[in-house]
Structure 1
Amino acid sequence: MGKNKRIITMVVALFFTFVFGYVCPTWGTVTPIGLKILGALLGWLVLAASGFGLLVPSLIALVAMALSGYYTATEIISNGIGSTVNILVIFIFVLVEVFSSSKTAEYIVRAFLSRKFVNGHPYMLTATFLITMVALGTIVGSLGIIMLAIVLLENIVSIAGIKMTDDWVRFLLISIVALSGVTELLFPFKPFAQIFIGLFNSSLSNVGYAVNEGTYMLTGVIVAVIAIMLLMLEARFIFHFDFEKLKALDTSVLKTNEFTKMSKKQGIILITVLLSFLFPTIIMLFPKASTVYMTLNGIGQTLFMAACVAFLSIVKVDGEPIMSPARVFAKAVNWDIIFAIASVSLLGGALGAENAGFTPWLLGIFTDLFNHISIIPIIILTAILSCFLTQVFSNLATGMILCSVLAPLSILLFNRGINVSVFPAIIGIGVCAACLLPSSSGQAAIMLSSDIFENGSSWALKKGVYVLVAVTIACMLSGTIVSCI
């Protein structure tokens, strides 16, 4: 970004953040305090979409909210920065770092890809690669799994004797990038999931409802299943890959000496991470009246993860603790995300509040329209906007805009008996499907800068569209199926 453009962007953002709400006249039911919060949100979006990252826009927005009078400084610290959600996210960052740096994830992928059932069966190898990477990506995260995918594909290319720029290799990598939404948002307690869910909860609280996390997760699982099925159909009937060399590939060589047997340290890490991530599901296995259920439910996932982190810091393998807490916390925690969650959750809560006036204003505009449109067209439009707008706009900014518009309107759909918990999942997965341009997302930038996509930007635009369409259709179908449950 040029110096002059950067200055202009900052001036525009600061105008929205600190001036807009004080000079813009109110309308309808919208109040002055609502305009101040809206200005803070617009300023945040301008900066976040213009290359300023997430930390700077979030810090400015937090100050603006304190000046608006809606929140006190103490509320911003306790309900935003120091919220239970942010503490949970910090522990997630730490556990993911340990899981990834110990090469536990890479061991699991290599173990699956080296099985006999994929030898001589390129389509089975393709499906196994996609399923394994997406499943593990839900723990490691999209950036980590993409870096791992590049390493593994480089190994496969070397062993099979095919070109690094082969269409099949590119197809696998761009498919994983397009499914970044599943890897980032499948679990409702992951960082970006909390942002989108929080915006909907802010509005739905007016009718005494909150996003059902089970429904949310089911939507994501169905998206993943349908998307992979569609991608396999595309691999068979659209891409027509040359599999001659892959048919002769002995995938057992992927299991090198380093990955022959899972180490004791990796085993402990795997069990600990799975227990911490699946904690909400595990406690549901016990009767609600039982002592075990009440004890675990009273601890909650945040403190359970804290205990897991403490466990990994205490337990020693070969005379050394599994993790060094000081080093891992310093390396793992992404403070941009922490402050983004704080600012976005507070902005969403304020915009959805009664004294901001936006919810009744939007409901007044769309009530008649939404009462005469079925849920299916709404889901289709939401999926298309999410998946395609994000190719040219910031992922988070696109998601924020769509959630800010749809969240108040979800009240109408809820009153019609529609399962609105599908929307944050569809939007979140859609806006993370940025895979066509290097400016679309960090994941796309990594992909297109790799040797696999050397001089391959035009390939991503032409053939990557097929991959994007598969994810878009999967979002449509998943939303439609789950909304009717």
Structure 2
Amino acid sequence: MSNEKSVRQRKGYSPAQYVHIIITLLLMFGFGYLPTFSTLTPVGMKLLGLFLGVIYGYSTCEVIWPSLFAFIAFGLSGYTDMNGAIASMMGGSTVFQIITQYFTAGAIVIYGFGKWFIRWSLTKKIFRGKPIFYTWCFMFIFMWTSIVISQIPMALLLYAIWNDIADSCGYDKKSTFRYYGFGGILLSLMMGGAMIPYKSWQLGLASTWQQVTSGNINLGLMFLITGICGTLIITAYVLLGARLFKVDFSTMEAFDVEKLGEESKHLRPRTKRILVVYLITMLLAIFSGTFLNNPLSDFLNNTLTAGGLYCVCSALLMVIPSGEGDGQAAIHFNDIKHSDSAVSWPVILMCAVTIPLATALTNESTGVLPWLTGIFSPIFEGRSPVFILVFTIIVMLILTNVGLVLPGASAPASIFHGRSEIPDAGLRTKIVLFSAALLLIISIVVFSLAYLVTA
């Protein structure tokens, strides 16, 4: 036994790990010195190499050290200096918003909401003995909820709840149940967000279609089509994904909620207070994003901002009494500072790197967008409307959902890929590739049929 332990302790990196590290660093620091091509500038080459290196490192290695090297490479790229790189990455409003939202969303679960929710939902007669139906309802309901609620706080809360479900039911840390559930949550939130007509990637698809065909955009019809797409995609994901990834639902089906203990029967006073403040904050965010021309929305959107709003939420909860007679606030910082459910540094660093990097890539100084436009524009010439529709769906999916498949370009995907509960990058990638394939196939079929019916 001692010899086996000694061997494990002496085990070093595998040759593949060294290869992944070298490729990551070469892309980050070496790609930019290759000759420029098309409209790409030297700065564009460095940023493109950095982006590819970050994605490769996140997908094959881990999050922390590729993120730190990304800070250095961004500061040396010529796009900004080192101080500017640090400020834009760690000082970004989205990063700050995620940190403050983590405090609240994580605390809700730490203080027992997850176990209460599991007991409350699994004991419903409609879900007894039907774990797959329960999973579908979980994803379907929150897909529609994310139409009006920001994806970031929803993602942080739902990932924590699903992980609590997995832990409570006794699933192994490596179980595909966790990956399958996390992937379904990501897909549900992105599909729900896509149904918002005035700010979704489908609106970009519709605008492109309008320019090419000289047609009109019917936002009501678009909402109906995207709603049908979302429902079909979530249904296919739940049913086919369970088979493809061999998800074991028997553990969940046989789970005895009495194992959760007496405290799971009721919400703690501090949990109720956290929920009330958190929900009020979400409602204010929904109001400011829906009703734009009024003093309150102007203040929330332009002066306080979303990051400031959720900062107020967290700050208040660290001042408001818990209601449990313990002399503490509703959120006690010492309870959450060491918990992955409350704060995940991989997620924070991944968002800090990928969001400003993706923004920088689209800057005029890089020449990336003209290069992409030059590639795709000639393909549309002389083509039929159906061909243009299908091709546009494919291109828009690639350009706007690269963050779904890879850990970059969008905050929800960065949060997904950075979660410590699902460390296997290969399995994460398989999950989201499957999601992207469903999204592509079903979108093409539904949008094409809608065109044929309404043409």
Q: How does 1:293-372 map to 2 (within 5 A)?
A: 293-297=297-301, 298-316=303-321, 317-319=323-325, 320-331=328-339, 332-370=342-380, 372=383
Distance 2:405 2:93 in 1: 24
CA root-mean-square deviation: 5.2
| Corresponding position of 2:389 | 375
* Structure 1: distance between partners of 2:44 and 2:380: 24
Out of 133-142 and 354-363, give the one that drifted further. 133-142
Change (3 A) 1:173 1:85: closer
CA shift digits 1:225-266 (9 cap, x unpaired) = 33444467779999xxxx9xx99x999968863233323222
**Deviation of the 1:272 alpha carbon:** 2.3
In structure 2, the partner of 1:73 is 82
Q: What residue ranges of structure 1 are gaps of 5+ in the alignment?
A: 156-163, 165-169, 189-195, 205-215, 404-423, 445-464
* Deviation at residue 292 of structure 1 after TM alignment: 3.4
Provide the TM-score with structure 1 as the length reference: 0.63
Return 5+ residue gaps in structure 2 as ranges.
1-11, 143-152, 194-199, 209-221
Contact 1:17/1:61, CA 8 A, preserved across alignment: yes
Q: Do the aligned partners of 2:188 and 2:234 also contact (CA within 8 Å) in 1?
A: no
Structure 1 residue 309: Cα displacement: 0.7
CA change 1:30–1:284 in 2 (3 A) is: closer
Question: Is the 1:383–1:426 Cα contact (8 Å) retained in structure 2?
Answer: no
Aligned to 1:90: 99
**Across the two proteins, how many residue pairs are aligned to each other?**
389
1:70-117 superposed Cα distances (whole Å, 9 cap, x missing partner): 112232132221011110011122112101111213312321332344
Partners of 1:187 and 1:229 in 2: how far apart?
14
Corresponding residue of 1:26: 36
What amino acid maps onto 1:260 in structure 2? Answer: K
Q: C-alpha displacement at 1:305, in angstroms? A: 0.9
2:287–2:297 CA contact under 8 A, matched in 1: no
Residues 265-284 of structure 1 aligned to structure 2 (within 5 Å): 265-284=270-289
CA distance in 2, matches of 1:20, 1:132: 43
1:383-422 matches, within 5 Å, as 398=406, 400=408
Instruction: Say if 1:307 and 1:117 are closer, same or farther in 2 by CA, change over 3 A.
Output: same
Kept after mapping to 1: 8 A contact 2:162/2:178:
yes
Contact 1:115 1:252 in 2 (8 A): no
CA distance in 2, matches of 1:479, 1:57: 36
The one-letter amino acid paired with 1:147 is: N
Question: Could you tell me whether the CA contact under 8 Å between 2:281 and 2:309 is conserved in 1?
Answer: yes
Read off the aligned partner of 2:55 and give its amino acid letter: L
What amino acid is aligned across from residue 118 of structure 2 in structure 1? V
Aligned to 1:440: 426
Secondary structure, counterpart of 2:307 in structure 1: helix
Whether 1:16 aligns to 2:30 is no
CA distance in 1, matches of 2:391, 2:243: 28
The SS at the match of 1:47 is helix
| Inter-partner Cα distance in structure 1 for 2:429 and 2:56 | 21
In the other structure, the counterpart of 2:165 is 149
